[in-house]
């Protein structure tokens, strides 16, 4: 099939670019002693996770149990759940994964989490595995002090939970546009994680896993002693929001194919709106940058830019999403492309698996 034959709006995934991004990341980590456990929240597609694992990733990171279940069904892992699992229903889903023989460790940050895991283990007869999430400055989840982290680690061991280590995610780096200040912020966050590592080591609880980082911090984190693995996700597709933070390191592999449905004097209108393209991190642009998605309503986008005069109704344009993750979450398949040929269709099996 050719791209011309596809109905729109739909997502195109450039397989050569995906493989190149995967190879770039593995090349960057080569010889550093730091491993990669890529975050599944970006591709949400077992076929992509399979490529990452084949290239040397040591496992997959997830944010939600629904994502872990999709991976388990595809036989992929081991899985690190970089988030708290809260509530009996979810704890029992975690135990069900363990009873299937899935290697999954979950993050914990409090006695509440540990109490729930202990109760779940009693109900199921399974043994949970956990890492302690530490707050390295993002002010989201995580243990606030090294002393608290040591106390929680000791409790994990005492309760018979498989204590694997710690994680911290310095996602607040994306709020700092200026490079020098961002570098300082990332270094401070990683130093905070290392304070927790040192306290654990002194208490005889040295963490086997020290997992950190997103796409914009991999260059620094891979050279930071103490860090054992990275949980970057966006690098595999890249997007316009992430691009300025990594300056050409990764390529845009994901585009949205849009049909122009109306052309006016100063603008044109496309057939993708908020129900197929997100704008939470800013505006999207056509691949060559000459057309801007200036406004989105539910099922329309307003297109502006100098090349608008050349557009005709019925014409197709490819848009690079500002935020790939929130865009792809609204779709069900990737049309996998090589040039203008569609060589495969990959289900986005974990789309909208937000539970
Ligand atoms: C806990 C956690 N780890 C890793 C990542 C991956 O970051 P990035 O998308 O920058 O690669 C995220 C992103 O949301 C995250 O929340």
Round to whole Å and give the CA distance between 277 and 279: 7
Could you report the per-residue pLDDT of 148-179, keeping only the tens digit for each? 999 999 999 999 999 999 999 999 999 999 99
Q: Is 253 in the pocket of ligand 1 (CB under 6 A)?
A: no
Residue 162 backbone dihedrals phi, psi, to 5 degrees: -75, 100
The dihedral formed by the CA atoms of 300, 44, 37 and 159, expressed in degrees to the nearest 10: 120
Taking the whole predicted model, whether its pTM rises above 0.95 is answered as yes
The CA 135 to ligand 1 mean position distance, Å, reads 14
Residue 143 backbone dihedrals phi, psi, to 5 degrees: -65, 135
pLDDT at 127 over 90: yes
Residue-level pLDDT at 326 = 98
Round to whole Å and give the CA distance between 131 and 207: 9
**Which fold does the domain 32-236 belong to in CATH?**
TIM Barrel (3.20.20)
Give the bridge partners for 316, in sequence order.
259
Please, which residues have CB within 8 angstroms of residue 12's CB and are 6 or more apart in sequence? 3, 254, 255, 256, 257, 318, 334, 335, 337
**Which fold does the domain 3-10+249-347 belong to in CATH?**
Lyase, Ornithine Decarboxylase; Chain A, domain 1 (2.40.37)
Residue 248 in tokens? 């050409």
Could you report the per-residue pLDDT of 66-88, keeping only the tens digit for each? 999 999 999 999 999 999 999 99
Q: Is 169 in the pocket of ligand 1 (CB under 6 A)?
A: yes
Q: Is 214 in the pocket of ligand 1 (CB under 6 A)?
A: yes
Please, which residues have CB within 8 angstroms of residue 219's CB and are 6 or more apart in sequence? 28, 246, 249
Top mutation candidate among 214, 215, 241 for ligand 1, by most atoms within 8 Å of CB: 214
Asked whether 60 and 38 are in contact (CB, 8 A), the reply is yes
Q: Whose CA is nearest to atom 7 of ligand 1?
A: 214
The domain segmentation of the chain, as residue ranges, is: 3-10+249-347, 32-236
Q: Is 221 in the pocket of ligand 1 (CB under 6 A)?
A: no
């Amino acid at each position: 099939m050719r791209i011309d034959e596809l109905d729109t709006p739909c997502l195109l995934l450039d397989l050569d670019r995906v493989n190149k991004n995967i190879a770039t990341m593995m090349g960057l980590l080569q010889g550093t002693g730091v491993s990669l456990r890529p975050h599944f929240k970006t591709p949400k597609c077992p076929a992509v996770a399979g490529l990452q694992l084949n290239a040397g990733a040591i496992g997959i990171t997830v944010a939600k149990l629904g994502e872990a279940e999709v991976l388990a069904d595809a036989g992929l892992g081991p899985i690190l759940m970089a988030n708290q699992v809260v509530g009996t229903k979810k704890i029992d889903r975690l135990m069900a994964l363990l009873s299937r023989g899935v290697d999954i460790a979950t993050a914990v940050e409090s006695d509440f989490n540990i109490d729930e895991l202990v109760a779940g283990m009693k109900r199921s007869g399974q043994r949970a595995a956990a890492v302690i999430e530490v707050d390295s400055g993002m002010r989201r989840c995580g243990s606030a002090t090294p002393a608290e982290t040591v106390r929680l680690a000791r409790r994990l061991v005492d309760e018979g939970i498989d204590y694997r280590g710690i994680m911290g995610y310095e996602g607040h780096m994306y709020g700092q546009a200026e490079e020098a200040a961002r570098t300082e912020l990332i270094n401070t966050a990683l130093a905070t994680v290392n304070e927790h590592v040192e306290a654990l080591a002194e208490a005889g609880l040295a963490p086997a896993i020290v997992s950190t980082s997103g796409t914009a911090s991999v260059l620094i984190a891979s050279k930071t002693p103490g860090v054992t693995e990275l949980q970057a996700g966006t690098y595999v597709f890249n997007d316009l929001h992430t691009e300025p933070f990594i300056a050409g390191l990764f390529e845009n592999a994901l585009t949205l194919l849009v049909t122009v449905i109306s052309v006016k004097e100063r603008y044109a209108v496309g057939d993708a709106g908020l129900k197929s393209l997100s704008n939470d991190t800013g505006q999207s642009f056509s691949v060559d940058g000459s057309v801007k998605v200036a406004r989105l309503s539910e099922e329309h986008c307003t297109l502006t830019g100098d090349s608008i005069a050349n557009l005709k109704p019925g014409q197709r344009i490819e848009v690079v999403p500002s935020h790939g993750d929130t865009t792809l979450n609204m779709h069900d398949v990737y049309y996998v492309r090589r040039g203008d040929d569609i060589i495969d269709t990959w289900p986005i099996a974990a789309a909208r698996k937000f539970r």
